[in-house]
Structure 1
Amino acid sequence: MESSLLNQPLHLPNGSVLRNRLAKAAMSETLGTYDNRPTNGLVQLYGRWGASGLGLIVTGNVMIDRRALGEPGNVVIEDESDMAVLRQWTQAATAHGSALWAQLNHPGKQSTRGLNAFNLAPSAVPFREDMAAFFDTPREASSDDILDIIERFGRSAAICKKAGFSGVQIHAAHGYLINQFLSPHHNRRDDEWGSTAEKRRRFLMAVYAEIRRQVGADFPVGIKLNSADFQRGGFTEEESLATIRALAKAGIDLIEISGGTYEAPAMSGAMQEPKRASTAAREAYFLGFAEKARATTKLPLMVTGGFRTATGMNAALRTGALDVVGLARLLAIDPDAPAALLQGRDSAQRVRPISTGLKAVDRMGIMEVLWYERQLKRIAKGKEPRPAESGLAAFLKSALGSSWGTFRTRRLRARA
């Protein structure tokens, strides 16, 4: 039966068990309020996914600091003021046996212009020229800033545990703050937080240690890590493998492998080079790196990106290079797909490239976020997604909504 490997449970190092090998990977939802609180829309959306049979569900960006947002509508968990809704969210997602992990994140410099009063990063490195109009040059984080952010990661994780989340995932990929610290391109510091690969890794290891200190050994802590940044002077495969070894030694429970940044969006498939037929048949974008990582560690590995069929997913698991298959965009256009895949059947929907016809927009790969956000918002309202929705129409509506969201966020913050 094609579903046999997908249906196997997975025992994590800390003793917890995922009921099967199929996971929903993080996608940006922007379903929080403009003052960044969780909503009933998240309860509706995650209830739908929770009923689909998934073993693991990872949330979209949960920010640890209301002053540091990635997008309007991000949920922020920095205190217990929203505990009632957080518990409704976790109960809806886990009611049928799925595990729910909160993805904890800080955007660093990767936040659109005007949303935050200022952006922090390891170093004051601007975006490339064609993106500078959309993103401010960040301030270099001080030592006090860094220590505050580390503590905030731990505090947010502890609140998530209290709210009923099954675990947390540290977002150290896709060009956000932790990835920026790991990258020689973004991190040009010459203090204890930079200058060598080991020192650039220190921020991540401190974040993990603080989270573990605040949640204890029995609470799952995973990480999303770039295989590489695919950016000149960025985080390399060799540095990623060294980071995996350090995390394994420290006691991480699950590593999700991804790649790319906003400036080089490999995570969306936009940067993937044409493949040989034998490689394309393997489906997953990062399976080759997973094989290198498997030679480095026996830790559970999750690979997200490119999977299309039950056959391809089972074939990937059969290699032994990964332990969990991550799905994202498919679950935005077919939220019930896991039920079919776990029975060895493919979804009737196919993920397709989203383009607007506007070269500057399409080059950034941003529609691989915005278009899917719109589908998630439909599900959150109890509606069905629109797999055929126009990329251009979605972009125009999203741009208008983002501008309004940025304005409302700044106004609400000013009144606080």
Structure 2
Amino acid sequence: MNQKDSPASQTPEALINRPFILPCGQEIKNRLMKSAMSEALGTVDNHMTPGLVTLYDRWAGGGAGLLVSGNVMIDRRALGEPYNVAIEDEQDMALLSAWARAGTKNNTQCWIQLNHPGKQVPRGLNTESVAPSAIPFRKELQRFFVTPREMTEAEIEDVLDRFARAASIVKKAGFTGVQIHGAHGYLVSQFLSPHHNRRTDAWGGSAQNRRRFVLEAYRRIRSAVGTSFPVAIKLNSADFQRGGFSETESMEVIAALAAEGVDLVEISGGTYEAPAMSGRKASGIDSEREAYFLEFAKSARKAVKVPLAVTGGFRTAGAMAGALADDSLDMIGMARPLAVDPDYANTILTGRPPTVTIRPITTGIRFLDKTALMEVAWYSRQLRRMAKGKNPRPNESGLVSFIKVMVASTWRTNQTRRLRA
């Protein structure tokens, strides 16, 4: 997009070290972005904890130009996981500000990812789950997720206002931007998908109506934070589900958001039912290629002038630099490497070979290994270790990790339910 006139002879680390200026005028010091990973480091009643400060202080020293938080919820009644942080008001302003100060050290940008889970909620966590339409999960996942209730128009308007209110609080706390979570099967993604959204009112039906929700969320956030504050989105290239959100529609949504002035579009893909974001195919087999969504980004680049990031699969500085050099994208998104090596970005930026290898996380239980549940469970344990000031355990057993997470999640879910009783 910009700063693309650097000589092709530059080293990979020199290309990655170049700053990037967003449409709103803010600068990111280099092209490495820590993409969102759900931390679930809040309290039982979804308030901030010092663990997030510790975790982001460590990442801010790790070299990435941009840190994006994971799954900050806009409604305590609608959690994606137990112990999510939710921002509804200014009760946690002191700790939120401490988190912002930690995450913005070393001239690092630190953005909060704002999310509503819609129907993608573990069974029993919330009093009920809502979605654009009352469409259940596929049969083998119905033991984990209940069928949602269709949202009323008043509820839709309330959620949109909550996105804007949370963004204004984030800005006041000292964070340097926000990202709308519009991917991976959560509420914004559900509104975009013809599989999940079968409404017949102004919020569904045509592709134009289905993207009304995300456009309205963006507009209300932009109104709340102003024109110089970065507002980004994480968006699926596709859902990889029959009858779901397609690459053609994704391109149309990107064009519509670009026309509104969005600062960065992070391209990912998939849902818990079809977890392409982890590199895992519907068969459960892992992809061996780098940058799972790079080809889509190249197509988007030709069609729309908007800053682009790709997350998923980048492992070598050469591949990262190649994508930047041919102007396929502007930011390199990384998640799992930073969960097992918080200094991974510094390693890339200084031209050293990475010392960690991202491996498939499996339990040996086939239906689990075909979903994103295992990946989320294993990596969330590594984040919790760092939040306690410990080092990650890159070789931890997938099955052992899953069992421990399920036990802890059940206990935490029961705590949350008792709190609401």
The equivalent of 1:72 in structure 2 is 82
Identity across the alignment (%): 59
- Given candidates 39, 44, 47, the residue that maps to 1:34 is 44
When the two chains are superposed, the root-mean-square deviation of aligned CA atoms in Å is: 1.4
- Given candidates 368, 393, 404, the residue that maps to 1:386 is 393
- Given candidates 273, 295, 298, the residue that maps to 1:291 is 298
> Where has structure 1 moved over 3 Å in runs of 4 or more?
272-275
d(CA) in 2 for partners of 1:373 and 1:97? Answer: 26
Residues 1:58 and 2:58 are matched in the alignment = no
- Given candidates 25, 28, 45, the residue that maps to 2:35 is 25
3-state SS of 1:149 partner: helix
TM-score by length of 2: 0.96
Alignment of 1:63-102 (within 5 A): 63-102=73-112
CA contact (8 A) 1:35 1:413 kept: no
1:96-118 Cα shifts (integer Å, max 9, x gaps):
11100000000000000000000
CA contact (8 A) 1:63 1:74 kept: yes
Aligned-residue offset at 1:2: 2.1
Aligned-residue offset at 1:412: 1.7
3-state SS of 1:392 partner: helix
d(CA) in 2 for partners of 1:331 and 1:274? Answer: 23
3-state SS of 2:171 partner: helix
Aligned-residue offset at 1:273: 8.5
d(CA) in 1 for partners of 2:141 and 2:165? Answer: 33
Aligned-residue offset at 1:413: 2.4
Residues 1:195 and 2:205 are matched in the alignment = yes
d(CA) in 1 for partners of 2:313 and 2:146? Answer: 32
Which amino acid in 2 is paired with 1:183?
S
d(CA) in 2 for partners of 1:175 and 1:153? Answer: 17
TM-score by length of 1: 0.97
d(CA) in 2 for partners of 1:362 and 1:319? Answer: 35
Which amino acid in 2 is paired with 1:320?
D
Q: Which runs of 5+ in 2 are unaligned?
A: 1-10
1:300-327 Cα shifts (integer Å, max 9, x gaps):
1000000111111111111211000000
Residues 1:368 and 2:378 are matched in the alignment = no
CA contact (8 A) 1:334 1:347 kept: no
Number of residue pairs matched?
410
CA 1:272 to 1:361, structure 2 compared with 1: closer, same or farther past 3 Å? closer
The equivalent of 2:162 in structure 1 is 152
- Given candidates 294, 301, 310, the residue that maps to 2:308 is 301
Aligned-residue offset at 1:274: 11
Aligned-residue offset at 1:272: 7.5
The equivalent of 1:317 in structure 2 is 324
1:313-352 Cα shifts (integer Å, max 9, x gaps):
1111112110000000000000011111111223200110
1:216-266 Cα shifts (integer Å, max 9, x gaps):
111100000000000000000000000011000011000000000011000
Residues 1:206 and 2:216 are matched in the alignment = yes
CA 1:274 to 1:295, structure 2 compared with 1: closer, same or farther past 3 Å? farther
d(CA) in 2 for partners of 1:100 and 1:295? Answer: 29
- Given candidates 122, 126, 135, the residue that maps to 1:116 is 126
Deviates more, 1:232-241 or 1:338-347: 338-347
The equivalent of 1:407 in structure 2 is 414
Aligned-residue offset at 1:365: 2.9
Aligned-residue offset at 1:293: 0.5
